[in-house]
Amino acid sequence: MSNESNSRRNFLRGSAVAVGGLSLGFSLSGCSPSANSAELTADPQGLASDVSVWLSIDTSGIITVRVPSAEMGQGVNTSLPQLIAEELDADWSKVISETAPHTSDFVNPSTLSRGTGGSSAVRRWWPTLAKAGAAAKEMLMSAAAQRWDVPVSELSTLNSTVMHSASGRQAGYGELASAAGQLSIPENPVVKSPADYTLIGKPLKRLDSPAKVNGSTTYGIDIVVEGMSYATVAASPNFVGELISMSEADARAVNGVQDVIEMPASHYVNSGIQSIVAIPDTVAVVANSYWQAKKGLAALKPQFSDGGAAGVNNASLTAGFMAALDQEGVQVRNDGDISDSLSRAEKLLEAEYAVPFLAHLTMEPMNCTAHYQSDSVNGDRLEVWAPTQGQSHAVNVLQQAFGLQADQIRLHTTFMGGGFGRRFEADFVVQAAMISRAAKKPIKMVWSREEDLQHDYYRPASASRFQVGLNAEGLPVAWKNVMACPSVAQRNFSAAVVNGADPFSVEGAVNIPYAIENQLVTLKQHDTSIPVGSWRSVGSSHNGFYVESMMDEVAVAGNHDPFELRRKLLQHEPRFLIVLDQLEEKSGWKQAPAAGRFRGMAIHESFASIVGEVAEISIAENGAIKIHNMTCVIDCGKVVNPSIIETQLASAMIDGLTAALRGGIKIEEGRVVQSNFDTYKLMHMAEVPAMAIHIVDNDEAPGGIGEPAVPPSMPALTNAVFAATGRRVRSLPIEPSLA
Amino acid sequence: MNLTINNVVHEFEVDEDTPLLWVLRDTLGMTGTKFGCGVAQCGACSVLIDGQVQRSCSIPAAAVEGRDIKTIEGLSRDNSHPVQQAWIAEDVPQCGYCQSGQIIAAVALLEANPKPSDDEIDKSMTNICRCGSYSRIRKAIHRVANA
């Protein structure tokens, strides 16, 4: 990747070079595109895509912003350009965005890698992008100052125009772009004060919508490479078994089938972030079309050994977690004196909770297109077109897998039909490249939905035990939380595991906001044969449920209203109080709900945002839960695009509610039982509640928005179920336990 | 085999059992119609056949010879169709992967029922959106109905 970057750098003219991590260029084109406002395109004759890093402005004024984060639906191809456009004083109707190529320019300075996750895009990129936009504006102003021979201080900018009010002269950015591109990049451009924002905070329309409503967006699965064939795969169903037999002749007899390729189980280590990609024993069928590959795989009938996993099922897994709760774990928080405070408590509450493994089920199944070219003289080359959230991770793993240097690999990031953490993994990228190398041609590998659902890196199942002591006022004074959880980080970011404590396992439990004097939180890492990875909101997806369910139990046992209890315990957390008070007001918490309706509340901080939610439900005579409405309040600090925030919160709530209602992987003989959307049910239109979403705007540092509404949604729902039925839901999903 | 898609006749050779979805995507390069499940559960592959919404992953192409097939590409390339316009006005798509199918389903619904109620929308719009864009899909359908 460094080669591509260097060659572009060398191509930069004049003084438009990298300065302090910021480089920026302008189109030097003299051509003008015939763009119209409905469908803007950058000048294809221009040099824009070759000379600029963050943005380019062509002579017609079209501003192309290169987005370092991967667009999976979360809106980064709009929100990040919005940050640049603000500082640039750009005419938003002239802004287009594209996913940046994978070069060292787009490695994040704070993480030293390229990847999208942790609800971090705006948080991590804002300073860099603001600086880029401000620098570009200063260069445009300098160009105008030179043209008119006036001091820069007499100029102002608005809507992609530089103005000299004293003389009434003005020039559009397109007119100034060529001259501006010859100027040196200011080292310390001045960024705006929030009070001067005109675009940040506005619900600007998404830049990627037009292409997504006429089918022209190119997702990973839509990539077409000259001369490519198609492949589909079957990996060991129980993750650990080996391929023991297959009917290769039958597969090859299927019309269009070209090849059958075995890929032995393998591990690849990304030394950069100490991450391991483990690919089960897998077999691929290559054919002229996906359909023929699928038929070939059906004819192949690959059989795998049990690998010692035959006894693994939901009951054995649950028993394992419960047993792990009795084993000594690692202390991750120890405040005050837990033993003494528990023994002196007026009332002692004890409860055990558990959650299941969850699949990601991105709408677009896993796929990747790869072209591996062997060349014994000049060195092998690998080009991949990947719907990936983790470019640096994928490239690093490909280097390990094929013994290549980074500059032998070219990676293109495509649009993604959902990510949710699944596409951080590199298994599907390695597989496509392996198949291409063996087949000696470009390969588009597409997984069936069944393969996708049965070979996920699942949200870990886990268990959590509480002992909470209440004082005479019914307030918690002792909080003991013992957890058993598989480690996501030991495979994904092993450097993050310190003293045996995976930070992902404990996030949301180790940092509860409540004023409780004595707290002991321990973690027993308990791994199973089921692969685990990052699922939307990661550890908070279970700890939010555990902690906020237990707080509801505390409220009931202590005879406090759940809102009032939280308010008492959050006096030292002013931002929580604002969210909580708005939640009470917007949900009408203090007014009794309509007859037959019941409410539950939860509040949780994750990814630097605080989210409170109230679920209002009713329960039919047959036990079916109807979620009528969700009220959601978020404090995510400074707001960039409230429209995108609203969609992300709604999306996250639906994710969480679906998981709470019926999410969960069923496992028999070590393999996933469900196979498709008929056996792993998602929420449809008819079930989706009304959602009232409120954003607390302030000037605090920005928080994440993609994930933080997941954690409180589950306990808000189950707390409402308790209000309705008196039954405490301590094990998810709800539906089988109510049936 | 001959298929009439978006008023254009396409002639090609494929295995007789090839689903319409894969003819559209792999044979004809019309990738706007998406693969989501392969078992007619999610609706990402929805197309119109003689004006009726159908899930193309589960229909052999051979079964729709001579029929009038319309895909997302046939709605309009310039987003001038009222349903596409409403989708943009309500900023519906997130990842967008299911939206071709959602839009096709909405076109069929609005053709049959120009002013659908919420209940009628619920009954007709059964495609899965993994991003949960349902509220805005509903708003966009009402926007078309009230235009």
Residue A485: half-sphere exposure toward Cβ, Cα within 13 Å:
36
Task: Provide the number of structural domains found in chain B.
Answer: 2
Higher pLDDT, A238 or A17: A238
Pairing verdict, β A161-164 and A155-158: antiparallel
The answer to whether the Cβ–Cβ distance between B93 and A691 falls below 8 Å is: no
A103 close to A49: Cβ distance less than 8 angstroms: no
- How many whole angstroms separate alpha carbon A578 and alpha carbon A592? 22
Class of CATH domain A2-212: alpha beta
Pick the CATH number of A314-359+457-738 from 3.40.50.620, 3.30.365.10, 2.40.100.20, 3.90.1580.10: 3.30.365.10
Query: Does residue B43 share a domain with residue B26?
Result: yes
Amino acid of residue A408: Q
The domain boundary, picked from B74, B99, B120, lies at: B74
The domain boundary, picked from B54, B74, B94, lies at: B74
Does B109 reach chain A within 8 Å, measured CB to CB? no
Q: Using CB atoms and an 8 Å cut-off, which of residues 176-235 of chain A contact chain B? A: 205-206, 208-219, 221-222, 224, 230
Classified as helix, coil or strand, A55 is strand
Q: What is the pLDDT of residues A86-144, one digit of tens each?
A: 999 999 999 999 999 998 888 887 788 899 999 999 999 998 899 899 999 999 999 99
- Cα A701 versus chain centre, distance: 20
Does A92 reach chain B within 8 Å, measured CB to CB? no
Does B118 reach chain A within 8 Å, measured CB to CB? no
B84 close to A201: Cβ distance less than 8 angstroms: no
Does B76 reach chain A within 8 Å, measured CB to CB? yes
Could you tell me which residues are beta bridge partners of residue A598? A617
The CATH code of the domain that includes B7 is 3.10.20.30
- Cα B125 versus chain centre, distance: 11
Q: What is the largest CA-CA distance in chain A?
A: 84
Any idea where the domains of chain A sit in the sequence? 2-212, 223-307+366-446, 314-359+457-738
At residue A325, the pLDDT reads 98
Q: What is the pLDDT of residues B39-61, one digit of tens each?
A: 999 999 999 999 999 999 999 99
- How many whole angstroms separate alpha carbon A495 and alpha carbon A502? 10
Query: Does residue B69 share a domain with residue B7?
Result: yes
Higher pLDDT, A103 or A472: A472
Average pLDDT of the residues of chain A = 91
Q: What is the pLDDT of residues A543-587, one digit of tens each?
A: 999 999 999 999 999 999 999 999 999 999 999 999 999 999 999
- How many whole angstroms separate alpha carbon A370 and alpha carbon A352? 47
A332 close to A523: Cβ distance less than 8 angstroms: yes
Please return the burial class of A167, using the count of CB atoms within 10 Å of its CB with bins 0-12, 13-18 and 19+: exposed
Q: What is the pLDDT of residues A137-164, one digit of tens each?
A: 999 999 999 999 999 999 999 999 999 9
At residue A685, the pLDDT reads 96
Does A692 reach chain B within 8 Å, measured CB to CB? no
Query: Does residue B7 share a domain with residue B70?
Result: yes
Residue in chain A nearest B34 by alpha carbon: A364
Q: What is the pLDDT of residues A172-187, one digit of tens each?
A: 999 999 899 888 888 8
The CATH code of the domain that includes B119 is 1.10.150.120
**Residue A438: enclosing H or E segment and its boundaries?**
helix A427-439
- How many whole angstroms separate alpha carbon A189 and alpha carbon A496? 35
The answer to whether residue A45 scores a pLDDT higher than 60 is no
| CA quadruple A309, A359, B96, A279: dihedral, nearest 10 | -30
Residue given tokens 């998404």 in the structure block: A206
Residue in chain B nearest A416 by alpha carbon: B95
The answer to whether the Cβ–Cβ distance between A647 and B133 falls below 8 Å is: yes
B116 close to B109: Cβ distance less than 8 angstroms: yes
The answer to whether the Cβ–Cβ distance between A363 and B98 falls below 8 Å is: yes
Residue A443: half-sphere exposure toward Cβ, Cα within 13 Å:
33
- How many whole angstroms separate alpha carbon A392 and alpha carbon A69? 12
At residue A737, the pLDDT reads 55
Residue in chain B nearest A649 by alpha carbon: B132
| Contacts with A72 from chain B: Cβ below 8 Å | 95
The answer to whether residue A40 scores a pLDDT higher than 50 is no
At residue A107, the pLDDT reads 86
Q: How many CB pairs under 8 A join A and B?
A: 189
At residue A112, the pLDDT reads 82
Q: What is the pLDDT of residues A483-533, one digit of tens each?
A: 999 999 998 888 888 888 999 999 999 999 999 999 999 999 999 999 999
- How many whole angstroms separate alpha carbon A280 and alpha carbon A286? 19
Query: Does residue B64 share a domain with residue B26?
Result: yes
Rg for chain B (alpha carbons), in Å?
15
Q: Provide, rounded to the nearest whole percent, the portion of chain B with pLDDT above 90.
A: 100
The stretch A313-333 carries a mean pLDDT of: 97
Query: Does residue B22 share a domain with residue B67?
Result: yes
Best mutation target among B95, B120, B133 (most A Cβ atoms within 10 Å) is: B95
Q: Tell me how far CA of residue A52 lies from CA of A8, A48, A96, A395, B117, in angstroms.
A: 9, 6, 14, 23, 50
The shortest CB-CB distance from B94 to any of A213, A224, A647 is to A647
| Residues spanned by the domain of B99 | 82-145
How many CB atoms sit inside 10 A of residue A301's CB?
13
Query: Does residue B10 share a domain with residue B59?
Result: yes
Query: Does residue B66 share a domain with residue B94?
Result: no
The answer to whether residue A41 scores a pLDDT higher than 80 is no
Query: Does residue B86 share a domain with residue B121?
Result: yes
Best mutation target among A685, A688, A713 (most B Cβ atoms within 10 Å) is: A685
Q: What is the pLDDT of residues A396-408, one digit of tens each?
A: 999 999 999 999 9
At residue A15, the pLDDT reads 27
The shortest CB-CB distance from A290 to any of B22, B77, B138 is to B22
Query: Does residue B140 share a domain with residue B87?
Result: yes
Residue A40, token pair as written in the block: 């803007």
Query: Does residue B117 share a domain with residue B68?
Result: no
Class of CATH domain A223-307+366-446: alpha beta
The answer to whether residue A24 scores a pLDDT higher than 60 is no
Residue in chain A nearest B86 by alpha carbon: A213
The answer to whether residue A50 scores a pLDDT higher than 70 is no
List, in sequence order, the alpha helices (H) in A274-408: 290-300, 314-325, 338-343, 391-402
The answer to whether the Cβ–Cβ distance between A448 and B38 falls below 8 Å is: yes
